[in-house]
């Protein structure tokens, strides 16, 4: 089968559409994660996904549904709990991460749940996307893009210098918690596509590449979407042509994107 | 004609949780006056500014800006619009932001805000202010590429473009090399001599404070004392 043949199959059409929507919308949040120092948060969300999967299996529904519910709840709670306990988001993320992992293992042990079934979450499958998944990915991408357009200046100030933004009257906490919620939802949705272990490729690496070549937030968001599409769609094409697992192929394409951005940046500096 | 009050703190007690950093502060600064506040690290200088900006709750006493007591969130939001703030210099983050955009932030809540995009006049004001502080050539440069002194000028331009009545400057010359220290002090002297803005400057360098202040206070163990009053 060549690429055109693949594109005629509805399964692959859905996969391409999902990869495109994910690349264009969800990768924008990588810029937020990198600039608000939320890298521990994404680890926390991955472990909470595991806890959610364990709870789901104990209660008799699908581990993925449990993981999604866990992530959504955690996304709502991470910011406010950190504010209430007067903890830095990174510290509250560590608390959630370790706590949820401990609790997941207790559940596996006490309920006799096969832990490996829950760990299946850590490898995603873009070819298993349903129409409902596409609606979710597309809807969230539309929300993310709208939020960035409507609150561009406020997000810029919050990411640039939160203390200064607060002194100017920008509601920094509300914006940060809103972005945290979107980040959680983005991670939850991407887990289905690339798996929890390779989630960085979908969310973070496009932003790393974009920040390397950009001189403004607007440019960083544009390039983030570009590298997002490049890694997701390009990775999917590479996986079909070279017969590779889709998650790993998307990840390696994203790594290639970061390398290309780095080389481009060096050339630009010399000119 | 007697000048109206810019900022007044009356028997102010404030701090974080149960640690009261400021213990019974009294301060009156009239509009157009320039006041310096000296003190060692940890004396509560930055906390004092945060109280004036309404970012830290007052435990006891009263804060008023331009004669209006800051009692409610609405009062505090109003006060922030009248204050230009130059925070202590920090290392620039990872976010790429042009000098123009970094200065334009000063217009938030004044020229533009939620659901209101920056107007042409806001962009023009940014250009004029950058010219004033000597950064016109770097208007579209990425802030991450600027030197410490240039970044401090960006910070000052952002506070000036706000068209505020009061300017709070937190260690404006610290960590700068000698040339930039002189440039920033000259700019502040110029602003002071114009007499339009109320200047309150925090610094641990008494010589710098003396160059730009009518009156200098010492903040020590949470209380404030006058150490030098040129207006007498």
Is A270 part of a structural domain of the chain?
Answer: no
Specify the pTM.
0.85
Phi, psi of B205 (to 5 degrees): -105, 105
> What is the rounded CA–CA span in Å between residue B119 and residue B129?
16
Number of domains in chain A: 1
SS (H, E, C) A167-205: HCCCCHHHHHHHHHHHHHHHHHHHHHHHCCCCHHHHHCH
Q: If pLDDT is split at 50, 70 and 90, which confidence band does A121 have?
A: low
pLDDT recorded at residue A229: 93
List chain A residues with CB under 8 Å of B115.
150
pLDDT recorded at residue B129: 95
Is A91 part of a structural domain of the chain?
Answer: yes
Using the beta-carbon criterion (under 8 Å), do B85 and A220 form an inter-chain contact? no
The per-residue pLDDT string of chain B (232 residues; one tens digit each, 9 = 90 and over) reads: 457 888 999 999 988 877 888 888 999 999 999 999 998 877 888 889 999 999 888 889 999 999 899 989 999 999 999 999 999 877 777 889 999 999 999 999 888 888 888 999 999 999 999 999 999 999 999 898 898 889 999 999 999 999 999 999 999 888 788 888 898 899 999 888 887 899 999 988 888 888 889 999 998 888 888 887 665 5
Is A236 part of a structural domain of the chain?
Answer: yes
Is A271 part of a structural domain of the chain?
Answer: no
| Residue from A168, A172, A212, A220 whose CB has the most chain B CBs within 10 Å, to mutate | A168
> Is residue A52's pLDDT more than 90?
no
| pLDDT, mean of residues A111-138 | 76
Name the residue in chain A with its Cα closest to that of B85: A167
Query: Mean pLDDT in chain A?
Result: 84
Is A65 part of a structural domain of the chain?
Answer: yes
Name the residue in chain A with its Cα closest to that of B78: A169
Could you tell me which residues come within 8 angstroms of residue A75 by beta carbon, excluding any fewer than 6 positions away?
A: A45, A180, A181, A182, A183, A184, A185, A188
Is A202 part of a structural domain of the chain?
Answer: yes
DSSP for A243-255, written as a single string: T--HHHHHHHHHH
> Is residue A118's pLDDT more than 70?
no
Report the CATH number at residue B199.
3.40.50.300
- Helix (H), strand (E) at residue A265: helix A246-270
- B76 CB neighbour count, 10 Å cutoff: 18
Could you tell me which residues come within 8 angstroms of residue B84 by beta carbon, excluding any fewer than 6 positions away?
A: B106, B158, B159, B160, B162, B164, B166, B167, B168, B197
pLDDT recorded at residue A122: 67
Number of domains in chain B: 1
Chain B: closest CA distance from residue A206 (Å): 15
> What is the rounded CA–CA span in Å between residue A134 and residue A124?
15
List chain A residues with CB under 8 Å of B96.
211, 214-217, 219-220
Range of the domain at B58: 5-229
> What is the rounded CA–CA span in Å between residue A117 and residue A99?
20
Using the beta-carbon criterion (under 8 Å), do A216 and B118 form an inter-chain contact? no
> Is residue A84's pLDDT more than 90?
no
| pLDDT, mean of residues A163-173 | 91
pLDDT in tens, A133-156: 888 889 999 999 999 999 999 999
Chain A: closest CA distance from residue B177 (Å): 23
Beta strands B166-170 and B19-30, pairing class: unpaired
| pLDDT, mean of residues A174-181 | 88
> What is the rounded CA–CA span in Å between residue A195 and residue A179?
22
Q: Which residue has the higher pLDDT, B91 or A217?
A: A217
Surface-to-core class of residue B55, CB atoms within 10 Å of its CB (0-12 exposed, 13-18 middle, 19+ buried): middle
Using the beta-carbon criterion (under 8 Å), do B142 and A220 form an inter-chain contact? no
The ipTM of this complex is: 0.88
Q: Which residue has the higher pLDDT, A67 or A212?
A: A212
Using the beta-carbon criterion (under 8 Å), do B95 and A156 form an inter-chain contact? yes
> Would you say B143 and B99 are in contact if contact means Cβ atoms under 8 Å apart?
yes
pLDDT recorded at residue A120: 66
| pLDDT, mean of residues A35-51 | 80
> What is the rounded CA–CA span in Å between residue B140 and residue B145?
11
Q: Which of A34, A165, A216 sits opposite B97 (nearest CB)?
A: A216
Beta strands B19-30 and B215-220, pairing class: unpaired
Chain B: closest CA distance from residue A39 (Å): 14
| Residue from A156, A169, A208 whose CB has the most chain B CBs within 10 Å, to mutate | A169
Q: Which of A153, A163, A215 sits opposite B108 (nearest CB)?
A: A153
pLDDT recorded at residue B230: 66
Distance set, CA A144 to CA A185, A223, B43 (Å): 10, 15, 43
Lowest-confidence region among A93-97, A119-123, A221-225, B182-186: A119-123
Range of the domain at A196: 3-265
> Would you say A123 and A195 are in contact if contact means Cβ atoms under 8 Å apart?
yes
CA angle A59/A79/A140 to nearest 5° reads 70
Report the CATH number at residue A83.
1.10.3470.10
């Amino acid at each position: 089968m060549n690429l055109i043949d693949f594109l005629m199959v509805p399964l692959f059409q859905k996969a391409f559409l999902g990869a495109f929507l994910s690349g264009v919308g969800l990768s924008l949040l990588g810029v937020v994660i990198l600039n608000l120092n939320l890298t521990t948060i994404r680890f926390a969300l991955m472990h909470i996904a595991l806890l959610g999967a364990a709870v789901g299996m104990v209660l008799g529904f699908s581990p993925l549904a449990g993981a999604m519910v866990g992530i959504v709840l955690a996304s709502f709670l991470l910011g406010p709990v950190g504010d209430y306990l007067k903890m830095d988001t990174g510290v509250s993320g560590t608390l959630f991460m370790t706590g949820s992992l401990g609790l997941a293992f207790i559940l596996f042990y006490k309920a006799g749940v096969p832990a490996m079934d829950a760990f299946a979450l850590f490898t995603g499958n873009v070819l298993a996307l349903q129409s409902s998944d596409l609606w979710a990915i597309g809807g969230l991408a539309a929300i993310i893009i709208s939020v960035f357009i409507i609150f561009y200046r406020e997000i810029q100030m919050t990411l640039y210098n939160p203390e200064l933004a607060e002194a100017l009257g920008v509601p920094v906490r509300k914006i940060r918690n809103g972005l945290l919620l979107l980040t959680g939802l983005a991670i939850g949705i991407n887990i289905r596509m690339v798996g929890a272990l390779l989630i960085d490729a979908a969310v973070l690496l496009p932003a790393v590449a974009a920040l390397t070549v950009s001189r403004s937030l607007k440019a960083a968001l544009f390039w983030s979407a570009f590298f997002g599409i490049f890694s997701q769609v390009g990775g999917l094409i590479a996986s079909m042509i070279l017969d590779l697992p889709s998650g790993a192929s998307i990840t390696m394409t994203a790594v290639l994107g970061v390398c290309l951005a780095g080389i481009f940046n060096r050339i630009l500096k010399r000119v | 004609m007697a000048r109206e009050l810019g900022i007044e703190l009356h028997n102010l007690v404030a701090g974080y949780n149960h640690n009261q950093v400021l213990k019974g502060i009294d301060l009156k600064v009239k509009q157009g006056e320039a006041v310096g506040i000296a003190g060692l690290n940890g004396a509560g200088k930055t906390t004092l500014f945060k109280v004036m900006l309404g970012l830290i709750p007052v435990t006891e006493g009263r804060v008023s800006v331009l004669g209006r007591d800051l009692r409610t969130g609405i009062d505090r939001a109003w006060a922030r619009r009248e204050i230009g703030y130059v925070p202590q210099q920090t290392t620039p983050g990872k976010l790429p932001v042009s000098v123009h955009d970094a200065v334009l932030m000063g217009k938030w809540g004044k020229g533009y805000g939620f659901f209101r995009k920056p107007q042409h006049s806001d962009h023009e004001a940014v250009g004029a202010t950058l010219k004033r502080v000597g950064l016109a050539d770097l208007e579209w440069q990425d802030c991450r590429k600027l030197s410490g002194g240039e970044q401090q000028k960006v910070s000052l331009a952002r506070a000036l473009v706000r068209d505020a009545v009061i300017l709070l400057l937190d260690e404006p010359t610290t960590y700068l090399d000698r040339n930039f220290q002189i440039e920033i002090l000259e700019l502040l002297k110029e602003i002071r001599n114009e007499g339009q803005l109320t200047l309150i400057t925090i610094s641990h360098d008494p010589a710098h404070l003396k160059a730009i202040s009518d009156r200098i206070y010492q903040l020590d163990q949470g209380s404030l004392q006058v150490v030098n009053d040129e207006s007498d």
